[in-house]
Amino acid sequence: MNDYHIPVLMKESVDGLQIDPGGTYVDVTYGGGGHSAEILKKLNSGRLYAFDQDQDAARSLPDDQKFFFIQGNFRFLKNYLRYYGVSHIDGLLADLGVSSHHLNTPQRGFTYRTDARLDMRMNRIGKLSAETVVNEYDAGKLSDIFYRYGEIPQARKLAAVIIQAREIQRIETAGQLISSIESLIPAQAENQFLSKVFQAIRIEVNRELESLEIMLQSAVEMLNPKGRLVVISYHSLEDRIVKNFMRWGNAKEQPASDLYGNSYDPFRLVTRKPVTAGEDEVSANPRARSARLRIAEKK
């Protein structure tokens, strides 16, 4: 493991997989390899397939015959694993959201705390960037992402202010974006407001919620009976989707249906309520404060 990303709820999440030493496991968010390293320690004849769409994640990979790295978006989970001849798995772990590396690398443009160029692409060969979203989306589309992905009540006003500002000058950096919306930033909740604005744009750039739903649907289909689904989320939008999948087998708040229209719930909940980080972990890694771990077992 390196300083790319500090893994959150390490023991709780890896223990939650209930690893069979000969089983097949997937870490769909490799990052700095912290969770993967712990999983590998518990395998002998088993295999671990790790995903990450960020090219930087491939800089430090373990030299282990049990380990297979896939540089790609986890939304293509089934397709990539099919290439390796894998149709069923015994467990899947996901540590969602933005990594420590993204936030600590100013030129990636993920944070409002540094005046870097607006980017936010987790996959740097992707065509859509934060700068494109801010400067080329129309008022309706902008307000929609701020309301849906940032849960910002004044989303329409926010979109209108941005459009007014970009008509004068293209908004290329985090500083320019913050300056353009300065009149709307609450004096007593500046960081919270800006976090929501940047979160909304980041989710749109990376199609995060859409990819999450596709990946979870693949997990529902691919997990063996007694296989574990272990997911760490960091905001209510992600957590709601994960909760619904574990409860109903889909992102909707109603049971999934089979080919004949019969409803079924594919999982047994291992954690009725999300597991959160303790005081010591939050003190050592403030990002852990918002982490919510949920675990379910395939029936």
Tell me what pLDDT residue 4 has.
Answer: 60
What are the pLDDT digits (tens) for 77-129?
Answer: 999 999 999 999 999 999 997 766 666 667 787 888 889 999 999 988 889 99
Say whether 228 sits in a helix, a strand or coil.
strand
Both 161 and 132 in one domain: the answer is yes
Give residues with Cβ within 8 angstroms of 223, minimum separation 6. Answer: 88, 89, 90, 91, 92, 229, 298
Residue 25, H or E segment? strand 24-27
What are the pLDDT digits (tens) for 122-181?
Answer: 988 889 999 999 999 999 999 999 999 999 999 999 999 999 999 999 999 999 999 999
Which of the four pLDDT bands, split at 50, 70 and 90, describes residue 268?
very high
Tell me what pLDDT residue 1 has.
Answer: 43
Which of the four pLDDT bands, split at 50, 70 and 90, describes residue 264?
confident
Tell me what pLDDT residue 176 has.
Answer: 98
Task: Give the structural domain span for 288.
Answer: 10-100+208-298
Q: Is residue 85 part of a domain?
A: yes
Bridge-partner residues for 48, per DSSP? 25, 67
The alpha carbon of 5 is separated from its chain's Cα centroid by a whole number of angstroms, namely 13
Of 206, 226, 249, which residue sits at a domain end? Answer: 206
**From the CB of residue 210, how many other CB atoms can be counted at a distance below 10 Å?**
12
Of 143, 178, 206, which residue sits at a domain end? Answer: 206
Q: Is residue 120 part of a domain?
A: yes
Of 206, 233, 257, which residue sits at a domain end? Answer: 206
Both 153 and 197 in one domain: the answer is yes
Both 36 and 51 in one domain: the answer is yes
